[in-house]
Amino acid sequence: MDAIKKMKKEIKNPFPDGNCFFCGINNKFGLKLKFYWDEEKKEASTEYLPAKHFTGQGNILHGAIQMGLLDEIMGWTSYAFTEKMAVTSDINVKFLKPTYINREKIRITCQVTSKEGPKIKMYAKLFNIEGAVCTTAEGSYHLLSSEKYRGITSLIKIVPFENIHAAAFKQLNLEWLEAYELFEPADLKYLDNPLSNILEQGGKILMAITDNAVIGTCAIIIEKSNTAELAKLAVSPDVQGKGVGRMLAKESIKEARKMGLKKLFLVSNKKLNRAIQLYESFGFKHMPIPKDTIYKTADVYMELQIN
Ligand SMILES: CC(C)(COP(=O)(O)OP(=O)(O)OC[C@H]1O[C@@H](n2cnc3c(N)ncnc32)[C@H](O)[C@@H]1OP(=O)(O)O)[C@@H](O)C(=O)NCCC(=O)NCCS
C-alpha cells in the first residue's frame, strides 16, 4: 500500500479552518481522512478504518457514514480535477453488499464522469478489504465560482497582533523567505522583535486567524511621520489563493489611512509575482529602488499615496 501511496499525490486540504467532520485536522470528533490523487488514472482515493461506534445493524458500517464518505470523496475529486470547490446537487447511492466493521480498512475511490460548465458528475466506489465493491454513488455537483468559493474568507478574522502571535508571525514569513531564497539577516530585525521594532515605533501588525490557526500576516512599519512600509505580507501556503492575502492587504491599507499616513511603500522581488499583482491591483505604482534600502535582494519598489 505504501508503494501505491508514493505514486499518488496527497491532495492539499483547501479548507483553512480544518473543522470538516470527514477531513478536518482540527475536528476532534472527525475522521481526519487524507485524500490522494492519481494523475495518471485521474482518480481520487482514501482509506478508512471504520470505527465501532458507527455501527448500523449488527456490525455493518452505518449507511449514513458510507454515504458521507462517498459524498466527501466526490468533493475532493472535483477539487483535484478542477481546482474549484463544488457543492452537492444530488447523489444516488447503491448498497450492493454490507460493509462490515471488522478492523479492516475500507478503500474509496472516485473519478469524474462528465463536466459541462459548472456541472460536474462523478462516480465513487467503496471497497472492502477483499477488493469487492460494497457501495457505489453517482453524484452531480455544482462548481463554485472563485468569488463564491472565497466565501470561506467569512471564516477568517483579521485581528491586531498580540504576543501569542509572535511565533506564527516569524514562521509564516520565514517559510516563504526561505522557499524563494530571499531570506536575509535584515529580516530578523522585525521577525525576532516585532514588539520593539514595529509596534513600539508606532507601526501595526495584522494577523489573519481562523478559530484554530493563524494563517496570515501583514505589517505596517513606520519609516517617517507620514510614510510607512507595507511589509511581511504572508499567507500560509495551504490557504493561498483564497482571498486571505487580499483581505490582509486591504485591511492594512485601511489601517494605514486611519493612522493618518500619507504614503505606503514596499520593497519586493520579481520572483513574487503573485504579491506584485496583488499590490498593483490596489494601485501601488512601480518606482526606482531607493539606494538606501536595507534589503539586498530587493529588485521591486512600489508606492501608494493613501491620504
Ligand atoms: C502574496 C500572497 C500574500 C497572496 O496571498 P493569497 O491569499 O494567496 O492571495 P489572494 O487569494 O488574496 O489573491 C490576491 C491576489 O493575488 C494575486 N494572485 C493570487 N494567486 C495568484 C496566482 N496563482 N497567480 C497570479 N496571481 C495570483 C492576484 O492578483 C489575486 O487577485 P484576485 O483576488 O483578483 O484574484 C501569498 O501568495 C504569499 O504569502 N506569498 C508568499 C509571500 C509573499 O510573496 N509575500 C509578499 C512579499 S513582498
CATH number at residue 264: 3.40.630.30
132, 220, 261 from 224: Cα distances, Å: 70, 12, 9
Question: For ligand 1, is residue 134 a contact (CB within 6 Å)?
Answer: no
Q: What is the mean pLDDT of residues 56-69?
A: 95
Predicted local confidence at residue 225, as pLDDT: 83
Q: Domain ends where: 90, 117, 144?
A: 144
Predicted local confidence at residue 250, as pLDDT: 95
Cβ–Cβ < 8 Å for 264, 307: no
* Residue ID of nearest Cα to ligand 1 atom 15: 278
Same domain? 221 vs 269: yes
Q: Domain ends where: 101, 126, 144?
A: 144
**In this predicted model, which residue has the larger pLDDT, 28 or 264?**
264
At 88-117, the pLDDT tens digits run 999 999 999 999 999 899 999 999 999 999
Predicted local confidence at residue 242, as pLDDT: 80
Q: Domain ends where: 144, 172, 192?
A: 144
Phi, psi for residue 183 in degrees, rounded to 5: -65, 135
Alpha-carbon span 221 to 228, nearest angstrom: 5
Report the range out of 8-17, 208-217, 274-283 with the highest average pLDDT. 274-283
186, 223, 288, 295 from 174: Cα distances, Å: 12, 22, 26, 15
Q: How far is the CA of 244 from the centre of ligand 1 (A)?
A: 8
H helices of the chain, in order, are: 2-7, 63-82, 146-149, 166-179, 186-192, 194-197, 244-258, 273-281
Question: For ligand 1, is residue 278 a contact (CB within 6 Å)?
Answer: yes
Same domain? 136 vs 156: no
Question: For ligand 1, is residue 252 a contact (CB within 6 Å)?
Answer: no
Same domain? 173 vs 132: no
Q: Which domain holds residue 45?
A: 2-144
Indicate the helix (H) or strand (E) that contains 55.
none
Q: How far is the CA of 208 from the centre of ligand 1 (A)?
A: 14
Whether the per-residue pLDDT at 131 is higher than 70: the answer is yes
Same domain? 121 vs 207: no
Alpha-carbon span 280 to 184, nearest angstrom: 25
pLDDT over 90 for what percent of the chain?
79
Phi, psi for residue 69 in degrees, rounded to 5: -65, -40
Q: What is the mean pLDDT of residues 223-230?
A: 94
Question: For ligand 1, is residue 240 a contact (CB within 6 Å)?
Answer: yes
Predicted local confidence at residue 41, as pLDDT: 94
Same domain? 58 vs 192: no
Question: For ligand 1, is residue 16 a contact (CB within 6 Å)?
Answer: no
CA angle 33, 144, 37 (to 5 degrees): 35
Alpha-carbon span 278 to 235, nearest angstrom: 13
Same domain? 62 vs 168: no
Alpha-carbon span 281 to 208, nearest angstrom: 20
| Among 8, 139, 155, 19, CA closest to 68 | 139
Would you tell me how many other CB atoms lie within 10 Å of the CB of residue 272?
Answer: 16
Whether the per-residue pLDDT at 54 is higher than 70: the answer is yes
Predicted local confidence at residue 17, as pLDDT: 62
149, 153, 246 from 87: Cα distances, Å: 10, 17, 24
When computed from its CA atoms, the radius of gyration of the chain, rounded to whole angstroms, is 24
Work out how many domains the chain is built from and give that number: 2
At 145-178, the pLDDT tens digits run 765 565 556 678 999 999 999 999 999 999 999 9
At 186-215, the pLDDT tens digits run 999 999 999 999 999 999 999 999 877 899
Burial class (CB in 10 A: 0-12, 13-18, 19+), 36: buried
Predicted local confidence at residue 25, as pLDDT: 80
At 64-90, the pLDDT tens digits run 999 999 999 999 999 999 988 899 999
183 — pLDDT class (breaks 50, 70, 90): very high
Q: What is the CATH number of the domain that holds 138?
A: 3.10.129.10
Q: What is the mean pLDDT of residues 262-268?
A: 97
Predicted local confidence at residue 149, as pLDDT: 60
